[in-house]
C-alpha cells in the first residue's frame, strides 16, 4: 500500500486527504476489533510505514484513521465517531460508545473534538472532556477514546511531512 502514496506530491496527498488523521499508538487486537470498518484504506499504508520508532507515537503503531465525513446523516456539520455503522468513523470496540465523540471543522479550518456523553469518556492530552465541550486540536495532541484507544492528531500536511515525504525519513529519525 505504501507504493500508492510514496510518489504522491504534497498537493496530491492533500487532495485525497484534506482532513486530519489520527494515528493509533498501540496495536488493536483484531479479535476485539473490526478496524478499519470505516477508517479508510490509508490504514494499510501506516501498517507498513510506522513499524519503525518515531518521536510522537510508539513503535507498535498500526492504524490511521482519516477524519472525514463518510455518510449522509442528520449531523452534517459533525464528523461522528462511534461503534455503530451510522457514524462517519466506525470503531467496533467494546469500550467505544455507539455515538462516542464528534469532530467539528472550525471557521479557520482547524478541527475540534467533543465528547458525545460517552460512557468511557474522551480525553485530550490526559484531560477529560466534559460532554459537548469543544476542544480545539493541535498537531501532536494525544486523544484517548474510551479510556483505552490512544491516538496522535495530525493535520494532513503534518502527516504528509512526517510519514510520506522522503519515504518516511522523519518518522525514523530519533
What is the chain's pLDDT, residue by residue, as a tens digit (174 residues)? 345 677 888 999 999 889 999 988 765 554 344 444 444 455 454 444 433 333 333 334 458 888 999 866 666 789 999 999 889 998 888 999 999 999 999 999 999 999 999 999 999 999 999 999 999 999 999 999 998 899 999 999 999 988 887 655 555 454
The count of residues in the chain is 174
For the chain, what are the domain ranges? 2-165
Number of other CB atoms surrounding residue 125 within 10 Å: 13
CATH for 2-165 is 2.60.200.20
Cell triple for 114: 467533543
User: Rg of the Cα trace of the chain?
Assistant: 15
Report the pLDDT value the prediction gives residue 85, as an integer from 0 to 100.
87
Rounded Cα distance between 120 and 145, Å, is 8
Tell me which residue of 44, 39, 34, 3 sits closest to 19, measured CA to CA.
39
pTM: 0.77
> Rounded to whole angstroms, what are the CA distances from 167 to 5, 50, 64?
9, 11, 17
**Edge-to-edge strands, sheet with 101-105:** 89-90, 78-82, 101-105, 111-115, 135-136
Pinpoint the alpha helices (H) of 33-155: 42-49
Rounded Cα distance between 40 and 165, Å, is 20
Amino acid at each position: 500500500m505504501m507504493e500508492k502514496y510514496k510518489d504522491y506530491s504534497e498537493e496530491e496527498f492533500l487532495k485525497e486527504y484534506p482532513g486530519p488523521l489520527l494515528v493509533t499508538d498501540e496495536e488493536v487486537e483484531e479479535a476485539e476489533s473490526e478496524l478499519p470498518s470505516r477508517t479508510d484504506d490509508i490504514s494499510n499504508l501506516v501498517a507498513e510505514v510506522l513499524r519503525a520508532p518515531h518521536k510522537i507515537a510508539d513503535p507498535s503503531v498500526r492504524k490511521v484513521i482519516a477524519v472525514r465525513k463518510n455518510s449522509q446523516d442528520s449531523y452534517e456539520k459533525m464528523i461522528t465517531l462511534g461503534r455503530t455503522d451510522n457514524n462517519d468513523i466506525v470503531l467496533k470496540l467494546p469500550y467505544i460508545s455507539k455515538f462516542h465523540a464528534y469532530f467539528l471543522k472550525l471557521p479557520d479550518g482547524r478541527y475540534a473534538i467533543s465528547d458525545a456523553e460517552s460512557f468511557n469518556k474522551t480525553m485530550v492530552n490526559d484531560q477529560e472532556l466534559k460532554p459537548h465541550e469543544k476542544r480545539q486540536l493541535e498537531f501532536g495532541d494525544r486523544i484517548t477514546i474510551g479510556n483505552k484507544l490512544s491516538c496522535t492528531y495530525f493535520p494532513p500536511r503534518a502527516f504528509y511531512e512526517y510519514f510520506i515525504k522522503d519515504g518516511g525519513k522523519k518518522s525514523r529519525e530519533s
